[in-house]
Chain A
Amino acid sequence: MLTDFFILLKQELVITVIIFLLLFIKLGKDRSNETILNWINLFLFINLVAGFFGSQEGILFSEMFHTNKLVVLEKNILNLAMLLISMQSYSWLKMHKHVIEFYLLLLSTLLGMFFMISSGNLLMFYLGLELSTIPLAAAANFDLDKRRSSEAAMKMIISSAFSSALLLFGISIVYGVSGTLVFSELSLHLVADPLHLFAFILLISGFAFKISAVPFHLWTADVYEGAPVAVTSYLSVVSKAAVLFVFVSVLYTVFKPLATVWYNILFVLSLATIIIGNLFALRQNNFKRFLAFSSIAQVGFILIGISGSSQAGMASVIYFILIYVFSNLAAFGVVSLVSAITGKENIDDYKAFYSTNPLLSWILTIALFSLAGVPPTAGFFGKFFLLMAGAAKGNYWLIGIAALNMVVSFYYYLRVVKAMFMDSNEEPISKLSIPILPKLALYICVIGIIVTGLLSWVYDHIFSLSSGI
């Protein structure tokens, strides 16, 4: 029992140990931010590497907690994203007064996400979700002297409280109608009668809030814009990915009896999300808002993949999220560097960026191309497989509209490329010197963007771990 406990909970325990280590470092004598950051990044690296070894399948705490190869893979993806974000925010945190607190908050949310992904019970799921949300709202306020930052935190805490309320309401009705909260038993009890559906819709709305699907997306742009870039990238990549992981597995297992219902819901949600996300992204000038809306549109594509409800559907969702981690973090990495050093965050500021910073321009271009889905970047494969999984249902109009929306999204990604390469600017962003850690993170992202797509075993591996309905 005890060995089971240590082996199955390994990834959560490592994070907990790091959190305690950080507390002790905080108590100890004053060290420079650089040293602390280097140590933390080393910890996170060890955490990432440790995730690949000695994982087992199993259940703990009477089905509250379960883990298997797929769950471990998902956690590894989150670990990777966490490490990359940490490396990228080096320039920003170097100057910050409260480095350790920042990591305490983020690692707590990461721990919450791990429990959420591993949950086998709606209560456990809810606990994990809350643990992953509340510290994040505090982290959104981490530009302590900026009013926008606290506004963002306030918006986030209120909107997530609202979505949690929806979830809880849904959970309580589910308990009322089925008498259980355990995932494996729930699927036997659920049928398509009105009360069940009402509970299900409440639950799905809660999820939609967290992944900012339209019409539950309104908090996203403001929070993304106000929060510090590091938190924004964490929000848009890690926290979204975690909820999507749970979403897809919950839909495919617990809510299997309601498959036709949620197919229709996803159909509407995905189209609305893609179209609205795209339309808003067209006119943004703030880079963070721009990426916020573009990430809303990306979620719409992911929902199409989920709606495929096949093994390929689940595989393509996880595969796409992995690619999305690389592409979005490459984009955020450049934005975060520029923002930390010059304070500029508008797309117009990036005019003639290529003349001063060719390397960063190419990295940002590759990242945007991957987000847009242009070969040979991985984004092409990701989008292709998502839509292909969605097309399995035979709804070609949905696929056609989604494909045409890719063209719209193309316009706004190319707009940034155009600003960097083609427009002239009297005072372009000056040549930036890039510290070693952010540079390394950017290189990892670029390599990831190129390799994840072309090497087919990544997808085949994920496919072999996935399961459909």
Chain B
Amino acid sequence: MNLSLLILLPLVTAVVILFCKGLKQVRSVALAGSVIQLLASCFLLVAYWKEKNAGNHSPMLFESDNVWFTALNIHYHIGVDGISIAMILLTASVVVAGILVSWTMEKLSKEFFFLLVLLSMGAYGFFISLDLFTLFFFLEIAVIPKFLLIGIWGSGKKEYSAMKLALMLMAGSALVFVGLMGIYYQTHSYDIMQISQMHIPLEVQKFFFPFAFVGFGIFAALFPFHTWVPDGHASAPTAASMFLAGISMKLGGYGCLRVATFLMPEAAHAYSWIIILLATIAIIYGAFATMMQTDLKYINAYSSVSHCGFVILGIGMLTQTSINGAVLQMVSHGLMTALFFAAIGMIYSRTHTRMVAQLGGLLKVMPFISTIFVIAGLCSLGLPGFSGFVAEMTVFMGSWQNPDGWYRLATILACASIVVTAVYILRAAGKTVMGPISNEYAVLTDATWNEKLAAAILVIGIVLIGVAPFLINQLIAPGTENIMQQVGKLITQK
């Protein structure tokens, strides 16, 4: 399968949107484009299984490598492994859901859908890039639409949040850039697979790993650079919140894994205690900060900080199971948070408030929305049967495999945060959905077809992973094995 299709489809969709007139045309084109993209991603998954079953064990599949800038040895090199496919499927589902949720976006609809599609293009390009320049190119493409989406269509202190988000993410990519320069001038190549075959000296790794890891970490809400997350998520319009949590933050996690850890494994090993320390702080701090929130969007945003901490923790622990767990957590968190934001958006568009204290008894008038709200919440607190349980469990199992006493303490602390999660989720869900309903809300209506469809796509994903985790595990395991080989090489050397 030609992977460039994954970039071309959104590009074509975006261009067609520019020539459309009126909300109806624009949204149909956007939806059509994203559904085709979802189908293409599913097709990619099938093709991947076929290749694997046919006995193709090369680390990257469907590679294509074209020279872009000859003079600088920059290539347009793309290819996928199981991890990228999982991310692409996640992106495609969230994009379809996001477009469905924004079905009635009247204000500047053409620009809105154009930017959404552009953002998704950046994400697809990022996940399939095997060349550091191309990867960086797509990473930055995904930043600017966020600024405009939040600043123009957002709510609350939107300009502040948009600026903060854009600047922090740009600072992240500036750090990544320095890391890339270090790698390039060490190896004279931008090709990820080539670089992974070379050996970068330990001192060089130790100098540049922090740049790359922290740079990508800012995208993934690494403590203490997580401050853009709450403001950005809370101010963004619903679809943009879904994209932010479901896609953008995953760019960071994927980058930490694919670029920082994969290319500089020794430094990752040397610095793992700092990574784990920061991740543990993020998990616990995020959980307690969420307890204090009264706004539904802030609740979800802070809990995202906590949940993304698990991703970083999994990467930092450097065992195969924990990295598996990190990838699982990325997918699971993406689906779950997108669902959560979608539900919050639906509630807000009807009640015009997101304050937990002002809501109550919504189950009586909007059973569907209340149900998905509760599903997202239960997934977030790690109820078995949903994806959250599988992902977090895998992270904990993997972390425990690391025999160091301090790391085990970190694991225990991270586990304990689940109790706090349960408190804030149950409290918010209980207060919002149960109890008496105030008169002004009694006349509200339940979800429309588009909202139901959006939620259904995400719920299917969550339940599928929750009930049959081996499916996705088999998908990502070869990819993580590959990364572990890099790490393992040096551990056996010692």
Contact = CB atoms under 8 A, between A and B. Distances in A.
Interface in A394-418: 394, 396, 399-400, 403-404, 406-407, 410-411, 414, 417-418
B174 A407 contact: yes
A375 B174 contact: no
A437 interface: no
A418 B144 CA distance: 12
Interface stretch (B94-102, B181-189, B363-371, B425-433): B181-189
Interface in B146-188: 147-148, 151-152, 158-159, 162-163, 166-167, 170-171, 174-175, 177-178, 181-182, 184-185
Interface stretch (B63-71, B331-339, B439-447, B472-480): B63-71
A411 B163 contact: yes
A80 B423 CA distance: 66
B181 A399 contact: yes
A224 B68 CA distance: 38
Contacts of B147: 414, 417
Interface stretch (A56-64, A151-159, A179-187, A380-388): A380-388
A369 interface: yes
A34 interface: no
Contacts of A391: 181, 184-185
A410 B170 contact: yes
A410 B151 contact: no
A400 B184 contact: no
A376 B137 contact: yes
Contacts of B136: 384
B140 interface: yes
B457 interface: no
A411 B158 contact: no
A312 B69 CA distance: 12
B54 interface: no
B105 to A, nearest CB: 16
B170 A407 contact: yes
Nearest to B74: A456
Contacts, number: 88
Contacts of A380: 137, 140
B61 to A, nearest CB: 26
Interface residues of A, number: 34
Given A312-B71, A374-B144, A403-B174, A422 B158 contact: yes
B198 interface: no
| Max chain A Cβ within 10 angstroms of own Cβ: one of B69, B141, B171 | B69
Contacts of A404: 171, 174
Interface string B320-346: 000000000000000000000000000
Given A374-B144, A421-B151, A459 B178 contact: no
Contacts of B182: 396
B137 A385 contact: no
A403 B178 CA distance: 8
A396 B72 CA distance: 18
Contacts of B185: 391-392, 394
Contacts of B133: 384
A459 B71 contact: yes
Interface of A: 312, 315, 369, 374-376, 380, 384-385, 387-388, 391-392, 394, 396, 399-400, 403-404, 406-407, 410-411, 414, 417-418, 421-423, 456, 459-460, 463-464
Given A387-B181, A388-B184, 16 more contacts: A374-B143, A376-B141, A396-B181, A400-B175, A403-B174, A407-B170, A407-B174, A410-B170, A411-B163, A414-B167, A418-B159, A421-B152, A422-B151, A422-B159, A456-B70, A459-B72
